[in-house]
Amino acid sequence: MARYELVKRSVALITLTNPPVNALSSPVRHAIANSMERALSDPKVRAVVICGENGRFCGGADIREFAGPLRGPPLIPVLEAIEAGDKPVVAAIEGMALGGGFELALFCHYRIAQSKARLGLPEVTLGILPAAGGTQRLPRLIGIPAALEMITTGRHISAQEALKLGIVDQVTDQNACETALEFALKAVGKPLSPRRVSTLTTPCPPDLDALLEAATMQVKKKTPGVMAPLACIQAVRAAATMPYSKGMKRESELMATLFNSGQARALQYCFFAQRTAGKWTLPSGAQWNNSKPREIRSAAVIGLGTMGRGIVVSLARVGISVIAVESEKKLLENGRQMVIGMLERDAKRRGVSASLNLLKFTLSLQDLKDVDLVIEAVFEDMALKKRVFQELSKVCRPGTLLCTNTSGLDVDALAGVTDRPHLVAGMHFFSPAHVMKLLEVVCGPRSSSETIATAMSLGKKMGKVSVAVGNCPGFVGNRMLKPYLDQATFLLEEGATPEQIDKALEDFGFAMGVFRMSDLAGLDVGWRVRKESGLTGPDVDPKNPPRKRQGRRYCPIPDMVCEQGRFGQKTGRGWYKYDKPGDTNAKPDPLIQNLLETYRSRYGIQPRNISDQEIIERCLFVLANEGFRILEDGMAARPEDIDVIYLFGYAFPRHRGGPMFYASMVGLERVLERLEHYHQAHPDVPHLEPSALLKKLVACGSPPVQQWREHIKTMRSHL
């Protein structure tokens, strides 16, 4: 777990050897303690260098150990022995020094960083704080404002920034370990006291209170209800106002309040869920680690609407040449200008030059004959998409992969009109596609493992969090969204207001409630889909009861809102009113109040007081219930995949872990009981009927979310 060598006859080189990120697991802490003891007691050793194997210094504490009781030596005494020693210790930072890894470096007397290394204290993103002295040592080294920013955001910084801030002593383009060995020899004999960060006085700004207050306001605004950033601020205050030893005590007290919190569990679950989600499997046995993706050098995007433009930008900025296709000259020209503008702004922000030379714009599908992959992003209309796929099948060379950016149509039906169904898959981007991190890769029953491997790997290359899902209406994300939106409108019928529902969801942690979000997205899209599927509009049988469709409860209020030309922010009116079209400041609208009151009295609905708890339960338990059905149907491989989809595609609050994790935290038994209760009250809402999988899990004693997969195994898989 750590290799000990004597090099240059007088330097002890301690190499952490715990792949893949040299996390500070119990055996590693043990090995560091033993190695330091050996180095300090060996008279031949005059200096020590600590580095990590495989070009990675250290990724911090072993997060997997957080779930169990502490085993092995605690980290802080191990690190204190490094600082207290009478021989200079140099950290040779290659790759990354994060969390406890960064703290380890802060206990060393000197730090040398390779120029590509990244450093940071990301603990806050895991719901905890840097509790191996990070909150007390970093402010002493670089001052309160810079330390506060790094600790409360968890931002990783470059080696160059670390040098500028005074965190590292030298940055090298060479091997950091070699440089550190030379450096260590030169440090021998120099006084160590000024190099011990614990002895430094924190430079305290005169406006400390105002600074901390401003930071508090900022984190409350950015991450309302999240505990860890606030605890970080309190710990940094201790660094400014208390002696080191007392500050360390305060840090440890604050850590104790966070460590076992539900938020920390949720955020750590998210960390692993995000990494698990990339590990896809198909029923054939093909999976992420036995299927080879194709290399994609050239791609085409068909349709330059909002989605198509974002997809072109996502491809071009990772160096893939793109042919963008539109059906009319005017649309093509408009799309070209938008894409170029987006790429130029994006490049400016990232400080690189825009890759405009990779782009080609055309009106002709014939130009696509040699591309490696096509992503169709035309209007959401099956007949149109089928025509495009038939055409592509004729035009593209036989090996070209054909993908569709549909948000819910049948991918296999599209595959069926081509000459290569095995090379067809869905790539469902989220709007705006160059910003949103989620990509649902839709595996049709005929999609080959190579096709899925390629779509997943292309997603990763574009910086997306890619999740493989099965081919069912709405796939995973949008399939779950429908019952959630339905509950919100049913609650309106029963007496709630859009403001009340939004506030309950925002207090829960969503950045925007469902109605504010719908206003932002545009209400006309859903209205068109409902009209096309015969739920509203002239196709509805006049004998049909207005609040029922196919025997199920239906709420026509969203249709009524659209009939008034209220399409959301873009028209300046939606569920809320805005000062002008395009404005974002949502204000309650008395006209909507009126509409709701008239509606209720027309249908004889007596409005009742609805509690926030009912809003949360009905909206979120129904969301999870559909998630259970998706798992039952084999359309998602695991609950983690569903949670990742909701975290990255629908802004589910990360400190709640995602809908499935949230359900497990509430307790499956309680979720089942509440769903049964609400279903009894609303028997015409089938989505409220508890799913078979939920019942099965409760019958098995409500195992933790990580074990659900074993219970799902016996069910049918489309993945």
Interaction site with ligand 3H9 (CB under 6 A): 20-21, 23, 59-64, 75, 96, 98-100, 103, 122-123, 126, 130-132, 134, 272, 275
- Between 465 and 694, CB nearer to ligand 3H9: 465
Q: Are 284 and 452 in contact (CB under 8 A)?
A: no
Q: Is 376 annotated in the active site?
A: no
Amino acid at 535: L
Residue closest to ligand 3H9, measured at CB: 99
Active-site residue, selected from the candidate residues 83, 94, 123, 494:
123
Among residues 2, 239, 255, 276, the alpha carbon closest in space to that of 139 is found at: 239
Shortest distance in whole angstroms from residue 715 CB to ligand 3H9:
25
Shortest distance in whole angstroms from residue 285 CB to ligand 3H9:
20
Instruction: Say how far apart CA 138 and CA 116 lie, in whole Å.
Output: 21
Among residues 605, 657, 602, the alpha carbon closest in space to that of 627 is found at: 657
DSSP state of 294: P
- Between 21 and 192, CB nearer to ligand 3H9: 21
- Between 64 and 292, CB nearer to ligand 3H9: 64
- Between 279 and 422, CB nearer to ligand 3H9: 279
Q: At what angle do helices 477-494 and 498-508 cross, to 10 degrees?
A: 130
Instruction: Say how far apart CA 263 and CA 251 lie, in whole Å.
Output: 18
Shortest distance in whole angstroms from residue 276 CB to ligand 3H9:
7
Centroid of chain to Cα 703? 25
Shortest distance in whole angstroms from residue 20 CB to ligand 3H9:
5
Instruction: Say how far apart CA 634 and CA 712 lie, in whole Å.
Output: 8
Q: Is 123 annotated in the active site?
A: yes
Instruction: Say how far apart CA 386 and CA 404 lie, in whole Å.
Output: 10
Question: Which residue's entry shows tokens 């030309």?
Answer: 565
Q: Are 504 and 516 in contact (CB under 8 A)?
A: no
Instruction: Say how far apart CA 139 and CA 141 lie, in whole Å.
Output: 5
- Between 100 and 658, CB nearer to ligand 3H9: 100
- Between 50 and 126, CB nearer to ligand 3H9: 126
Shortest distance in whole angstroms from residue 78 CB to ligand 3H9:
10
DSSP state of 577: B
Shortest distance in whole angstroms from residue 56 CB to ligand 3H9:
7
- Between 128 and 694, CB nearer to ligand 3H9: 128
Helix (H/G/I), strand (E/B), else coil: 70: coil
- Between 157 and 403, CB nearer to ligand 3H9: 157
Question: Which residue's entry shows tokens 């081919």?
Answer: 471
Strands 118-120 and 157-158: antiparallel
Token code pair at residue 377: 């992003």
Shortest distance in whole angstroms from residue 63 CB to ligand 3H9:
4
- Between 66 and 599, CB nearer to ligand 3H9: 66
Per the omega criterion (within 30 degrees of 0), is the bond before 690 cis? no
Q: Are 446 and 402 in contact (CB under 8 A)?
A: no
Question: Which residue's entry shows tokens 């209760």?
Answer: 677
Token code pair at residue 387: 């025509």
Active-site residue, selected from the candidate residues 5, 53, 83, 103:
103
Shortest distance in whole angstroms from residue 709 CB to ligand 3H9:
15
Helix (H/G/I), strand (E/B), else coil: 426: strand
C-alpha torsion angle, residues 635, 638, 639, 644 (rounded to 10): -90
Shortest distance in whole angstroms from residue 47 CB to ligand 3H9:
26
Token code pair at residue 28: 């590693």
Taking phi over 0 as left and psi of -120 to 50 as alpha, with beta for the rest, 201 belongs to beta
What residues pair up with 12 in beta bridges, in sequence order? 6, 48
Catalytic positions are 103, 123
